[in-house]
Each structure stands twice: as structure tokens, then as C-alpha cells.
Amino acid sequence: MRYFLLISIIIILSIKSTFSGPFSDKLSQCMIRNISDTDNRILTNWIASVMVQHPQIDIEMSSSDIEFYNKSIALLFEDLLTIRCRQETADALTFESEEAFGSAFEVLGIVSMEKLIEHPSVIRASEDVINYIDLEKLSKIFE
């Protein structure tokens, strides 16, 4: 699971916004300040629903679940941009164009995934892999 989450963060980090300026930074900060735990859950579930569609991931999700997550994230994004961060959105569009959204959502995704990975249950689950590694074999590299 942790590897799945790490891959998600790597993907988010690798999507480089073509522009990041002071207004997109303010939009990012506004979205981070105004996202609740429930919102964060919507965001991380949506990211997972997107990731499971990759052919190398052996986790299945129904099309109705994917549609649900798409609709949920659309409502969240709409609310963030038009209500909670309305002025920041307007400023970013006015002074930096729609490219500011890429930067703002990139930061929001990174923060969301960091919260997910830092949860004690996720940390414990990711540490379970050590039970399947032959530590004796690993220690031989130091001989």
C-alpha cells in the first residue's frame, strides 16, 4: 500500500506545472487551508480511483465507484474554486491564466498524499514488508 502511495506522490511530483507564480501560490495556500479531513478523503479516493485504472495495477474498482469518485472530486474542486477560494481563483485566472490551476492542484495533491502516508495505520502496513525480506541474505552484502 505504501508503495502505491509513494508512486502516487511521485506521479504528482513529476507533473510539472508550466507556471507557478504568487497568485497560484495563494490559491494553493487557500485550498490547503480550506480542505477538511472529509475533503482530503474525497481527494485521496479519487487519486486511487485514477491510479487503479493503470494496467499494471491489479486492484479492480467498479465503473460506478469510479464515476462516484469523479463526481465527488468535481464537486469538491468546484466548491474550492468558486466558493472557498473564490478571490484567489479569480486573481490566479486574471493574472496568471488557467495554468495557475495546475500548480495549485499539484500542491494540494502533494499535501493530501503526505497526510495519507503519515497515518499510523499506513506506516504499520508499509512496515509489514520486512516480514517477507530475507534479512540474512540482505546482511551478506556487508561481508
Q: Which of 92, 84, 75 is nearest to 22 (CA)?
A: 92
Instruction: Give residue limits of the domains in the chain.
Output: 2-142
Please name the helix (run of DSSP H) or strand (run of DSSP E) that holds residue 129, with its range, or none: none
Q: Residue 19 — pLDDT band, cuts 50, 70, 90?
A: low
The one-letter amino acid code at 71 reads K
**What is the value of pTM for the model shown?**
0.75
For the stretch 106-131, pLDDT in tens is: 888 888 888 888 889 988 988 898 89
DSSP state of 131: G
Distance CA 41, CA 129 (A): 25
